[in-house]
Amino acid sequence: MSDRLARDGGTPVRSTPFPSAMDPQGRTFGPAEAEALARVIDSARLSSNGGTEVAALEREFGALYGTPHAVACTSGTAALHLAVGAVDPAPGDEIITTPVTDFGTVIPILAQNAVPVFADVDPLTGILDPASVEACISERTRAIIAVHLMGAPAPVDDLAAIARRHGLILIEDCAQAYLTELPDGSYAGTRGHIGCFSLQQYKHVTCGDGGLAISGDGQLAQRMRLFADKGWPRDTGERTHVSFGMNYRMTELQAAVARVQLTKLAGVVARRRAAAGRLVAGLQKLEGLHLPNELDRHAVWLFPVVLDPDVAGGTNTEYAEALEAEGIPVSAGYLSRPVYRYPVLSRKRLYGGAGFPFTCPPARRDWQYDDGLCPNAEELIDRTWLIVHWNEAYSDADVDDMATAFRRVHSALRSTRPAV
């Protein structure tokens, strides 16, 4: 094969698509899921009220994570909303989180009229930097939402210590981090007060959309259960509403599929880790590329590479353009911009343009979300972060094609880069 890049007219390394979460080859669906759905249809009970599947899923998920309380809901965003609802911030109260995450992490903060405060991230992982988190704490701070990004464990021991010192609730966003392990071998989602998970189409296991929130705190769990069901305490038999809540009830159909998918989770994560290890081995001699490490603890939802552009020969955009031309599923930066630069925040597009809750009052000051707020996050997105899309169905040949394309692009870009 010629060393000429495909973007320059050479033959691409790869001409056939890779498995993805949007096609049967990239998912683990089979007869068991179909049988589970048929079981629910035959029962005529599709609602969790009066059904058995949702309650069984909650028990099974709680057992997997060794936690006494699990609450099922309609999405990962809903799970985070349950958590924030349980915190019950007053308008203008603050919740610290990361600027590098799906917007579902931030929506619950805004929905509860609280102010998202963005701490910066580690420049090699994109995960919350505890020192930056502590610097953001004020008298109005109520909680921290840490994201186990792309399947890598966040430094939740340090964040939990910060939360204890300041009397805060620690929420773990584990949407991308099923079976991610912390240094002591316990699972991500069990160190904070609440752990939140997603069952959306692209996640390790899925029922299309769905979510779960776990907690070792019975009071927080009860608040989440009420929040998921309009504040209705059904266990009392009284039709009343004791607190504010949403309708985030998972259906029996979703839960039945999720229960089957849960039995496949360990295998999914193991295959993702094994394929990632193969790619690391194929790329480890390429200068200027920082690769994921400790893969035995990593859920590998995505495979992130952090470039040193001066050494690697190009920025994330240059690498992404060249690798995409070779047929490799990659993207530059993960996000187009940090979350705080989305118009909904930078232009305060909430509540009829009133600026609420970012104005003083109810906030302690008028909040602005400008460029430069989190320099490490901005550098990752703009120049250094290269994301390889990942799937448990990747074969050795698939991974070897990725490595071949990376080596070709690396060699070509370095040969054309001016000496520094």
**66: exposed, middle or buried (C-beta count within 10 Å: 0-12, 13-18, 19+)?**
exposed
φ, ψ dihedrals at 121, nearest 5°:
-120, 165
Q: Are residues 191 and 320 in the same domain?
A: no
148 band by pLDDT with thresholds 50, 70 and 90: very high
**At residue 1, does pLDDT exceed 90?**
no
Q: Are residues 175 and 206 in the same domain?
A: yes
Q: Are residues 258 and 269 in the same domain?
A: no
- Give the Å distances, CA to CA, from 279 to 53, 123, 202: 39, 22, 21
Residue 93: inside a domain: yes
Q: Which of 264, 294, 323 is the last residue of a domain?
A: 264
> What is the distance, to the nearest Å, from the Cα of residue 395 to the centroid of all Cα atoms in its chain?
24
Q: Where are the beta strands (DSSP E) in 255-400?
A: 289-290, 302-307, 330-332, 385-389
Q: Are residues 193 and 240 in the same domain?
A: yes
**At residue 419, does pLDDT exceed 80?**
no
Residue 165: inside a domain: yes
Nearest Cα neighbor of 105 from 342, 297, 305 is 342
Mean pLDDT of 332-354: 94
State the residue for tokens 């020969």.
313
Which residues are bridge partners to 309 per DSSP?
Answer: none
Residue 157: inside a domain: yes
Host domain of residue 318: 6-27+265-335+377-416
Residue 372: inside a domain: no
Are 156 and 187 a contacting pair, CB within 8 Å? no
287 band by pLDDT with thresholds 50, 70 and 90: very high
Are 330 and 307 a contacting pair, CB within 8 Å? no
Q: Are residues 302 and 205 in the same domain?
A: no
162 band by pLDDT with thresholds 50, 70 and 90: very high
Helices (H), 205-335: 218-228, 252-263, 265-283, 309-312, 316-325
C-alpha 280/C-alpha 273 separation (Å) is 10
Residue 243: inside a domain: yes
Task: Kindly state the tokens that stand for 275.
Answer: 């394929």
**At residue 19, does pLDDT exceed 90?**
yes
C-alpha 414/C-alpha 418 separation (Å) is 8
Strands of the sheet with 141-147, listed across from one edge: 69-73, 211-215, 194-198, 169-173, 141-147, 94-97, 115-118
Residue 43: inside a domain: yes
Q: Are residues 247 and 100 in the same domain?
A: yes
pLDDT tens for 228-261 read 999 999 989 999 999 999 999 999 999 999 999 9
- State the pairing for strand pair 330-332/385-389: antiparallel
* Sign of torsion over alpha carbons 240, 244, 248, 250: negative
Residue 45 falls in which region: left (phi positive, over 0), alpha (psi -120 to 50) or beta: beta
H helix and E strand count, the chain: 14, 11
Q: Are residues 295 and 234 in the same domain?
A: no
Are 289 and 283 a contacting pair, CB within 8 Å? yes
State the residue for tokens 């909904």.
344
Mean pLDDT of 120-138: 98
For residue 103, the domain's CATH number is 3.40.640.10
Mean pLDDT of 343-365: 94
pLDDT tens for 163-214 read 999 999 999 999 999 999 999 999 999 999 999 999 999 999 999 999 999 9
Q: Are residues 128 and 233 in the same domain?
A: yes
pLDDT > 70 in the chain, percent: 99
Please give the pLDDT value at position 416: 83
C-alpha 374/C-alpha 251 separation (Å) is 40
Q: Are residues 192 and 238 in the same domain?
A: yes
Q: Which of 233, 249, 264 is the last residue of a domain?
A: 264
Residue 144: inside a domain: yes
Q: Are residues 197 and 72 in the same domain?
A: yes
Which residues are bridge partners to 325 per DSSP?
Answer: none
Are 104 and 77 a contacting pair, CB within 8 Å? yes
pLDDT tens for 38-76 read 999 999 999 999 999 999 999 999 999 999 999 999 999
Residue type, 293: N
* Cβ neighbours around 165 below 10 Å, total: 10
12 band by pLDDT with thresholds 50, 70 and 90: very high
For residue 279, the domain's CATH number is 3.90.1150.10
Please give the pLDDT value at position 262: 98
Q: Are residues 65 and 16 in the same domain?
A: no
Q: Are residues 113 and 199 in the same domain?
A: yes
Q: Which of 264, 281, 315 is the last residue of a domain?
A: 264
Count of domains for the chain: 2
Residue 350: inside a domain: no
Please give the pLDDT value at position 418: 64
